[in-house]
Amino acid sequence: MEDKQVERLCAKLDLILKIIAIDKLSGKKQVQQVAMLTDFGFRPSEIAVVLGRKPKEITSVLSKMKKRTSTSPSRRS
């Protein structure tokens, strides 16, 4: 396969992933959307594109999420 074909294929796969992600994210809060996309393996810059936000905003949300999980008490049985 030629490089141009591979690039086109990758671009189409990226588009399909974004469409699926948007469908799965509808009706969810931004923090939930960012968490889900992160779990799907998206980078902050990619999440920003999918959600129509700026990368700095996504990075800020991720930072707050990490702080919350690191400061929350652990649940022990």
Residues 20-75: tens digit of each pLDDT: 888 888 899 999 999 999 988 889 998 998 899 999 999 999 999 988 888 766 55
Question: Residue 76 falls within a domain, yes or no?
Answer: no
Question: Residue 36 falls within a domain, yes or no?
Answer: yes
* Contact call for residues 67 and 57 (beta carbons, < 8 A): no
Range of the domain at 20: 3-71
pTM for the full model? Answer: 0.70
Q: Give the DSSP letter of residue 72.
A: S
Please state the φ and ψ torsions of residue 8, each to the nearest 5 degrees. Answer: -65, -40
pLDDT of residue 33: 93
How many folded domains does the chain comprise?
Answer: 1
Nearest-angstrom CA–CA distance, 36 and 43: 11
Band of residue 77 on the pLDDT scale cut at 50, 70, 90? very low
CA distances from 41 to 14, 70, 76 (A): 12, 21, 29
Question: Residue 16 falls within a domain, yes or no?
Answer: yes
Question: Residue 48 falls within a domain, yes or no?
Answer: yes
